[in-house]
Structure 1
């Protein structure tokens, strides 16, 4: 729905400014796929991988805890069974919260990376706009259809890689 609304706004903008030269770009993808983007993403990817490994370890511990409870439930006293079920539920909540926190942290790492790379991407994009004499550049995510030659994402990646 958001993309459809954005596309409609984009088409209205196109009609209102009578643009002669229009291009689309996936700015985020260009930043992340450029050589500098890949280089700068190494450390955040490493951090995300470490978080993922830690989460998987905690999930395995939780699974073992659940299996142990299932195995022992017929031999446990009712108060012990209740106590272990409560512990299991608390541990499940902790792991769920851990996963949500890690997801937020990973998203923040990506946002910081994008923020760091944006100035370089903007410089390269402005050069392309000036050279091509573009009247309008739209985000590719908001566009329903565009000719292949209207997409300047690869050109932006190449420009960033050259460091012009």
Structure 2
């Protein structure tokens, strides 16, 4: 719905501005795919991989607990069975909470990376706008259709790579 609304606004802008030269760009992708973006993403990717490894370790422990409980279920005293089921449920809650926290942290790392790269990307984009004499540049995510030559994402990546 949000994208559709954005596309309609974009189309209205195009009609009302009577732009001669229109381009679309995936600014986020350009930032992350540029050489500087890849270089800056090394540490955040490492942090996310470490978080993922911790999560998988916890999931493995939980799986072992569940298998052990299933194996021992018929031989355990009712109090011990109840205790281990509670421990398993608490472990499952812990893993779910851990996964949600890791997703938030990964998203935050990406946002910080985007913020850090934005000034360089904006400078390169301004150069392209000036050189091509563009009247309007729209975010590719908001566009339903654009000719291939209207997309300047690759050009922006190349420009950012040149300006290291």
Normalising TM by the smaller chain, what interval? over 0.9
Secondary structure of 2:137 counterpart = strand
Aligned to 1:137: 137
User: What's the Cα RMSD here?
Assistant: 0.7
* CA displacement at 1:13 relative to structure 2: 0.4
Q: TM-score, normalised by structure 1?
A: 0.99
SS of the residue corresponding to residue 134 of structure 2 reads coil
Superposed displacement of residue 3, structure 1: 1.1
What is aligned with 2:67?
67
Alignment correspondent of 1:105: 105
SS of equivalent to 1:19: coil
Map residues 46-125 of structure 1 onto 2, 5 A cutoff. Answer: 46-125=46-125
1:127 is matched with 127
Rounded Cα–Cα distance in structure 2 between residues aligned with 1:139 and 1:28: 9
Measure, in 2, the Cα distance between the counterparts of 1:30 and 1:64. Answer: 43
What per-residue deviation string (whole Å, max 9, x for no partner) do you get for residues 88-119 of structure 1?
A: 00110001100100110000000000000000
Q: Distance between the aligned counterparts of 2:9 and 2:67, measured in 1?
A: 54
Q: Which runs of 5+ in 2 are unaligned?
A: none
Aligned residues: 164
Deviation string 1:36-90 (CA, Å, 9 cap, x unpaired) is 0000000000000010011000000000000000000100011110111001001
4+ residue runs over 2 A deviation: none
CA distance in 2, matches of 1:80, 1:53: 31
| 1:9 alignment counterpart | 9
